[in-house]
Amino acid sequence: MIDLLITGVHGQLGRALEGLARRRGLSVEGHDLDTLDIRDNGAVAQLIGRLRPRVLVNCAAFTAVDACETDEATATAINGTAVGHLAAACNVAGALLVHLSTDYVFAGDGTRPYTETDPVAPASAYGRSKLAGERLARSADRHLIVRTAWLYGRGGANFVEAIRRQIDGGAASLRVVADQVGSPTFCDDLAGALLELIDAEARGVVHAANSGSTSWHGFAVEIVRRLGAEVEVHAVTTADFPRPARRPAYSVLDTSLMAAAIGHHLPPWQDALARYLEGPCAP
């Protein structure tokens, strides 16, 4: 038996969670597509049956939002159906299933932070596939579904690194969407919240994100400022950058339930960004 099994361990959140759990002395095993395809029900059952983890944290996902529009079947297989395989295996092993979900399960047309009990109405294939995963995660006898948003972390491509690359490439100005609002969330902080929620025996659906909110434009302005770059950031609209998948205009998550469970909110997104930028760049 081990303390923690992580699927999607090569992703930014999976990496952060594995590192933090090991530093805290937990026994951890991580798998990704190279060693476990969670769509393979037999392989999932065999691995979880052998390891008998106390907790399984599912960070695996098909997160290419636009690609989901043209291949919703694959998105649903990974983000939806496969979660049912994990839930069934967790029931046999007696494990807690912690499943990561997203702000995209909401319509994105709200005017106040979304609570865990607000109606879901995904407007994209990605959102629909993640909602399917939530529903199947509930088939685990012991489950915790954690919705989060606007993730960035070490070891992969993300919005912060995209802005940094443009600056390093000599861009004199940037055009960034200003009519989409959310809460940028640092994977290191979310990883800590996940372990605290597990320790607090939280169950059901919980929202977890760094405190505060901004637009992608506001996020970019703060990145540029903290990097000390002389780059002008121009605000544009979503319509100026048409994409296959519809993005939520407003997807701020209410994290009061998380704070009640673990005793605190996560740090402000500006503080999280400063700590990320003090560390090594993503490869």
Please list the residues that pair with 233 across neighbouring strands. 174
Average pLDDT over residues 197-206: 98
Q: Where are the domains of the chain?
A: 4-157+184-210+252-267
Domain 4-157+184-210+252-267 has CATH 1.10.287.110: no
Residue 152 catalytic?
no
132 residue type, one letter: A
Residue 125: C-alpha distances to residues 11, 104, 200, 249 (Å): 21, 10, 33, 16
pLDDT in tens, 85-118: 999 999 999 999 999 999 999 999 999 999 999 9
pLDDT of residue 283: 42
pLDDT in tens, 20-72: 999 999 999 999 999 999 999 999 999 999 999 999 999 999 999 999 999 99
Q: pLDDT averaged over the chain?
A: 97
Question: Which token pair is 164?
Answer: 């940094």
Average pLDDT over residues 3-7: 98
pLDDT in tens, 59-72: 999 999 999 999 99
282 residue type, one letter: A
pLDDT in tens, 136-182: 999 999 999 999 999 999 988 999 999 999 999 999 999 999 999 99
Rounded CA-CA distance 100/143 in Å is 11
210 contacts 255 by C-beta, under 8 angstroms? no
Rounded CA-CA distance 209/8 in Å is 19
Question: Which token pair is 17?
Answer: 């969670």
Rounded CA-CA distance 223/171 in Å is 14
Give the single-character DSSP code of 81: I
pLDDT of residue 282: 46
Indicate whether 281 pLDDT > 70: no
Considering 104, 126, 152, 276, which one is annotated as catalytic? Answer: 126
Question: Which residues, including other chains, have CB under 8 Å from residue 199's CB and lie 6 or more apart?
Answer: none
Torsional sign, CA 39, 42, 45, 51? negative
Rounded CA-CA distance 222/202 in Å is 33
pLDDT of residue 279: 83
